[in-house]
Amino acid sequence: MDYQPTSRLAYQEVKKNLGERQLQVLTALLEKPDQTNAELARRTGLAINQITPRVLELRKFGKVRLLRHRKCLVTGSTAMAWEPTEPAEQLTHI
Does the domain at 19-85 match CATH 3.30.413.10? Answer given as: no
Confidence of residue 87 (pLDDT cuts 50, 70, 90): confident
CA proximity to 88, closest of 3, 31, 10, 5: 31
pTM listed for this prediction: 0.78
Domain residue extents for the chain: 19-85
| End-to-end CA, the chain | 13
- pLDDT tens, 4-59? 555 455 555 555 678 999 999 999 999 999 999 999 999 999 999 999 999 999 99
CA proximity to 86, closest of 2, 1, 13, 5: 13
